[in-house]
Amino acid sequence: MSLIKAGKVVEDVFFDASQADAVPPSGAVIVSFDQWQAQRDALLARDAPLGIRLHSDQSPELIAADVQRFALIALEFPKFRDGRAYSYARLLRERYGFKGELRAVGDVLMEQLFFMLRTGFDAFDLQQSPDPVAAFQTAMADFSVWYQPTGDGRKTAVELRLGRR
């Protein structure tokens, strides 16, 4: 498992406390939605970046009013076939204005990276890839034409056609 950001393998500065019994007193952490609900004030009082990890049945609507409080939001893909987080990512970026790190976690595979990138993810907890950087680059290079406008700002085929007139 490797964390990929901006095309490079990077060290994860966050400690994932979402499964832990207690949130450590210091350092960047990722908490679960339940922890966030139960310990909201304490978590906001910590002097370190805060992340939240949402299950695939937890819509980001649950945290819509608070997204700016998080440095990181991690969305789970429990199976790569579960595509709910693609919609959630777009809502976070395009509707709730989330600007922090949007991380894909769980069953994150090379063949879905491109969809993730286009829906707004910018960090990928890539599973089982012998050469994650090469995998990322291959996935990014697969396509240069896309038909759907999303919040990533890439120009669609329609926009390019109109631009040529």
Partner 1 sequence: MYRYDEFDEKFVAERAAQFRRQVKRRLAGELTEDQFRPLRLMNGLYLQLHAYMLRVNVPYGTLSSKQMRCFAHIARKYDRNFGHFTTRQNIQYNWIKLEQAPDIIKALADAEITSIQSSGNCVRNITSDQYAGCAKDELADPRVYCELLRQYSFLHPEFSYLPRKFKIAVTGSPNDRAAVAVHDIGLRMHKNDQGELGFEVLVGGGLGRTPYIGQTIRKWLAPEHLLSYVEAILRVYNMLGRRDNIHKARIKIIVNQMGIDKYRELVDKEWELTKNGALKVPAAELERINAYFAPPAYEKLADLTVELGAERNADRAFDRWMRGNVIEHKVPGYAIVNISLKAPGRVPGDITADKMDAVADLADRYSFGEIRVSHRQNLVLVDVKQSDLQQLWRELFALELATPNLGLLSDIICCPGLDYCALANARSIPIAQDISRAFTDLDELQRIGNFTINISGCMNACGHHHVGHIGILGVDKRGEEFFQLTLGGASDQHASLGDRLGPGLPQAEVPGAIRKIVDTYLEMRTHEERFIDTYRRVGIEPFKGAVYGAEARTH
Instruction: Kindly list the residues in this chain that would bind partner 1 in the complex (CB under 8 A).
Output: 56, 59, 80-84, 86-88, 90, 95, 109, 111-112, 114-116, 118-119, 138, 142-150, 157-158, 160-162, 165
Tokens, residue 4: 């990929």
CB of 112 to partner 1, least distance (A): 8
Minimum CB distance to partner 1 smaller for 22 or for 145: 145
Min separation Cβ 152 and partner 1, Å: 9
Give the Cα separation of 141 and 53 in Å (integer): 29
CA–CA gap between residue 4 and residue 55 (Å, rounded)? 20
Q: Find the shortest distance in angstroms from Cβ 110 to partner 1.
A: 9
Q: Lay out the sheet containing 8-10: strands in order across.
A: 8-10, 2-5, 123-126, 101-106, 72-77, 50-54, 29-32, 15-16
What is the C-alpha to C-alpha distance for residues 14 and 30, in angstroms, rounded to an integer?
6
Minimum CB–partner distance for residue 21 and partner 1 (Å): 28
Give whichever of 39 and 59 is closer to partner 1, judged by the CB atom: 59
Q: Which is nearer to partner 1, 13 or 111 (CB)?
A: 111
Answer for the pair 54, 74: CB distance below 8 angstroms, yes or no.
yes
> 46 or 90: whose CB is closer to partner 1?
90
